[in-house]
A and B are shown apart, each in its own frame.
Chain A
Amino acid sequence: MPSSEAVNQSSARGTGVIHDIGYRHYEGPRGGRRQITRALYVHSLRGVFGLGRAAKSKIMPMGLATFMVLPAAIIVAVMIFMGAEEPLVAYTSYAIIVQAVPAIFLAAQAPQTVSRDLRFHSLPMYFSRPLTDRDYVAAKWAGMTSALFILLAAPVVILYAGALLGKLDFMEQTGDFLLALVAVLLLAALLSGIGLLIASLTPRRGLGVAAIITLLAGSYTVVSAVQGITYELGSEKLAGWAGLFSPMTLFDGAQVALFGVDSNTPAGPPGTIGKVVFVVVLLAVIAGSYALLSLRYKKVSHS
Chain B
Amino acid sequence: MSVIATEELTKRYPRVTALDQLTVDVPEGVTGLVGANGAGKSTLIKILLGLSPATEGKARVLGLDVATEGATIRERVGYMPEHDCLPPDVSATEFVMHMARMSGLPSTAARERTADTLRHVGLYEERYRPIGGYSTGMKQRVKLAQALVHDPRLVLLDEPTNGLDPVGRDEMLDLIRRIHTDFGISVFVTSHLLGELERTCDHVVVVDGGKLLRAQATKEFTRTTGVFTVEVDTNADGSDGTDDAQTALVGAGLPVERDGRLLHVSVADETGYDTIRDTIDGLGVGLVRLQQRRHRIAEVFLGEQSQAPQTEKETADA
| Interchain Cβ contacts under 8 Å between A and B, 8 examples | A23-B184, A29-B106, A35-B104, A36-B101, A39-B102, A125-B79, A129-B75, A129-B103
Could you tell me the distance between the alpha carbons of A132 and B109 in the complex, rounded to whole angstroms?
A: 23
Q: Is B183 an interface residue (CB 8 A)?
A: yes
Nearest B residue to A52 by beta-carbon distance?
Answer: B94
- What's the nearest-Cβ distance from chain B to residue A212, in Å? 21
- B85 and A130 contact, CB distance less than 8 A: no
Residues of A within 8 Å of B87, CB to CB, are 116, 120, 122
Q: Does B169 contact A (CB under 8 A)?
A: no
Instruction: Indicate whether A175 reaches chain B with its CB closer than 8 angstroms.
Output: no
Q: Are A302 and B79 neighbours in the complex by a CB distance under 8 Å? A: no
Contact of A16 among B78, B109, B122, B183 (CB under 8 A): B122
Asked whether, in the complex, the Cβ of B49 is within 8 Å of the Cβ of A25, the reply is no
Interface contact A126-B102, CB-CB below 8 Å: yes
B191 at the interface (CB under 8 A from A): no
B150 at the interface (CB under 8 A from A): yes
Closest CB of chain A to B317's CB: distance in Å?
25
CB < 8 Å neighbour of B106 from A28, A54, A122: A28
- Chain A residues whose CB sits within 8 angstroms of the CB of B109 once the complex forms: 26, 28-29
Q: How many A residues face the partner with a CB closer than 8 A?
A: 40
Q: In the complex, A156 Cα to B98 Cα: how many Å?
A: 34
**How many inter-chain contacts with C-beta < 8 Å in the A-B complex?**
98
| B120 and A130 within 8 A (CB) | no
The total of chain B residues at the interface (CB under 8 A) is: 41
Q: Any chain A CB within 8 A of the CB of B71?
A: yes
Tell me whether B116 and A24 are in contact (CB under 8 A): yes
With a CB–CB cut-off of 8 A, which chain A residues contact B83? 121
- CB-CB < 8 A to A25: which residues of B? 151, 184
Indicate whether B269 reaches chain A with its CB closer than 8 angstroms. no
Whether A121 contacts B113 in the complex (CB less than 8 A), given A33-B71, A128-B51, A130-B74, comes out as: no
Whether, in the assembled complex, B81 has its beta carbon less than 8 Å from a beta carbon of chain A, the answer is yes
A residues 27-53 near B (Cβ < 8 Å) are 28-33, 35-36, 39-40, 43, 52-53
Contacts of A23 in B (CB 8 A): 116, 120, 182-184
Which residues in window 52-85 of B have CB below 8 A to A? 52, 71, 74-75, 77-79, 81, 83-85
Counting CB contacts under 8 A, is B164 at the interface?
A: no
Inter-chain contact B184/A124, CB cutoff 8 Å: no
Known A-B contacts A13-B124, A19-B119, A28-B105; A120 and B49 likewise in contact (beta carbons under 8 Å): no
CB distance from A121 to the nearest CB of B (A): 5
Which residues of chain A have C-beta atoms less than 8 A from B270's C-beta? none
Name the B residues within 8 Å of A53 (CB-CB).
Answer: 90
Asked if A31 meets B105 with Cβ closer than 8 Å, knowing A22-B182, A26-B113, the reply is yes
Find out whether the CB atom of A120 lies under 8 angstroms from the CB atom of B88.
yes
- The answer to whether B104 touches A30 (Cβ under 8 A) is yes
A30 touching B124, Cβ below 8 Å: no
If A125-B79, A126-B102 are given as contacts, then 17 extra A-B residue pairs at C-beta distance below 8 Å, sorted by A number, are A9-B125, A13-B124, A26-B109, A26-B150, A26-B151, A36-B103, A36-B104, A40-B102, A120-B85, A120-B86, A121-B81, A121-B84, A125-B81, A128-B51, A129-B103, A130-B74, A130-B75
